[in-house]
Chain A
Amino acid sequence: SQKIEQNSEALNIQEGKTATLTCNYTNYSPAYLQWYRQDPGRGPVFLLLIRENEKEKRKERLKVTFDTTLKQSLFHITASQPADSATYLCALWDSGTYKYIFGTGTRLKVLA
């Protein structure tokens, strides 16, 4: 069956460290993968899109990698700040249904 897996447990890290979140998928072959941020009680906000032929994408303190062999995307936040605390969702493009499928998200808490 098709699955998208993100760490269900919250990730706690110390301010200033690099946070690394994982998105693993099974039985998908996404050409595109997106990462979103979602604050409690709010809608998701788009952060980054990476294509299957791109190994890495950066935006300010954010970095995304996409390994189609491992079927995995990693999302990094460098020099993390308490304001980065939120839930981060990955979404991958399902060409079979022509839509993005979202993972369950990982809750990140950056401790001051």
Chain B
Amino acid sequence: EAEVAQSPRYKITEKSQAVAFWCDPISGHATLYWYRQILGQGPELLVQFQDESVVDDSQLPKDRFSAERLKGVDSTLKIQPAELGDSAMYLCASSLERETTDTQYFGPGTRLTVL
């Protein structure tokens, strides 16, 4: 069964450093999501792509976070500079389209620790 791939699985960095996360969605899925999940909370949407276009980045801290999906396939989320409060699980998900009934398939996540 096809899965969403993410790397790295774990990342430890010091504050003020730059970090990058990669996501490869299920083949054929047009919609890609990046979520942040703080321990004990639910996932919070950071950015949503439809093909290569950003359709929602209202919760993305744009002063330090950036995301791209250049060819409408895989995607990278970057944080520069990282802050202590960025420690969280970063989840990537994909769905066929941006429909209300489309299932979101999540990857295993990247656990970020900022020291």
Do A and B interact with each other, yes or no? Answer: yes
Q: Which of B41, B43, B45 contacts A44 (CB 8 A)?
A: B43
Q: Which of B4, B44, B101, B107 contacts A32 (CB 8 A)?
A: B101
Q: Does A102 contact B43, Cβ atoms closer than 8 Å?
A: yes
Q: Which of B44, B48, B107 contacts A43 (CB 8 A)?
A: B107
Given contacts A99-B45, A99-B56, A102-B42, contact A32 B103 (CB under 8 A): no
Report how many residues on chain B are interfacial, defined by Cβ distance under 8 Å.
23
A-B Cβ contacts below 8 A, count: 47
Report how many residues on chain A are interfacial, defined by Cβ distance under 8 Å.
21
Q: Which residues of A contact B42 (CB under 8 A)?
A: 4, 89, 91, 102-105
Q: Does B48 contact A100, Cβ atoms closer than 8 Å?
A: no
CA gap between A99 and B40 in the complex, in Å: 21
Q: Does A104 contact B40, Cβ atoms closer than 8 Å?
A: yes
Given contacts A99-B56, A104-B40, A105-B42, contact A43 B103 (CB under 8 A): no
CA gap between A1 and B3 in the complex, in Å: 36
CA gap between A99 and B41 in the complex, in Å: 17
Given contacts A42-B108, A43-B107, A97-B58, contact A49 B101 (CB under 8 A): yes
Is B106's CB within 8 Å of the partner chain A?
A: yes
If A32-B100, A43-B4, A103-B42 are given as contacts, then 5 extra A-B residue pairs at C-beta distance below 8 Å, sorted by A number, are A41-B109, A44-B91, A91-B42, A100-B104, A104-B41
Lowest 4 CB-CB distances: which A-B pairs, in order?
A43-B106, A102-B42, A46-B103, A102-B43
